[in-house]
Amino acid sequence: MASPTLLLLFTATLLLSSYGYGYGASESVSSAVDLTAVDFDAVLRDTPATHAIVQFYAHWCPACRNYKPQYEKVARLFNGVDAIHPGILLLTRIDCALKVNIDLCDRFSVNHYPMLIWGKSSEFVNGSWSLHQGIGEMRPIDNGRTGDRLLNWINIHLNSTYGFDDEKKEESVLLTKVPNLRQVQIS
């Protein structure tokens, strides 16, 4: 069963998508979590994931629209109810073209779209970032313009070997036959 936090993230994504946040209200629900300045700190504070990637984009940006399927491909591995590796990494998005997000995008010195920032989830909460400050583990991801490159970047920084061909491991209970205590001889 999914954790309450993952269900909350999934519900937040559904709700925000239904109000038109994201790349387009008519598109299907995404695996990347669309956030606004209103819920950004709370979601990143409450996530079980140690690290996060925040994509800053503008819905009108052609490069962002082209990059969306690549980012989604990676997000499906880590986000949502059907994630193969849930709770390890949170992939989120902020639409800097929305008025509600302007100050948040300024806080993180967004100067181009799409812009990806990697860091510990806790560092994003009430945080800010600038290329010149180099705060904590936060850093831009400059070599993530395809799903394969982004996943490779993640694997390097998490010292992992995640792949797109990974299969979801079903949680199963192994039933073992417990011998009848009367039949067990004590030696």
The whole-number pLDDT of residue 174 equals: 36
What are the tokens at 83? 């994630």
Asked whether the beta carbons of 95 and 59 are under 8 A apart, the reply is: yes
What are the tokens at 135? 């705060």
Say which of 2, 61, 84, 125 is annotated catalytic.
61
| Residue type at position 138 | M
- Predicted model pTM: 0.74
Between residues 13 and 4, which one has the greater pLDDT? 4
Residues with Cβ within 8 Å of residue 119, at least 6 apart in sequence? 51, 52, 54, 127, 129, 136, 137, 138, 139
**Annotation marks residue 64 as catalytic:** yes
Lowest mean pLDDT among 52-61, 74-83, 86-95, 121-130: 121-130
Residues with Cβ within 8 Å of residue 155, at least 6 apart in sequence? 161, 162
Helix ranges, the chain (H):
4-18, 40-46, 62-78, 102-107, 121-124, 147-158
**Annotation marks residue 61 as catalytic:** yes
The backbone torsions φ and ψ at residue 140, rounded to the nearest 5 degrees and listed phi first, read: -75, 150
Say which of 53, 54, 64, 91 is annotated catalytic.
64
Which of 11-15, 19-23, 33-37, 84-88 is the most confident on average?
Answer: 33-37
| Residue type at position 100 | V
Asked whether the beta carbons of 48 and 122 are under 8 A apart, the reply is: no
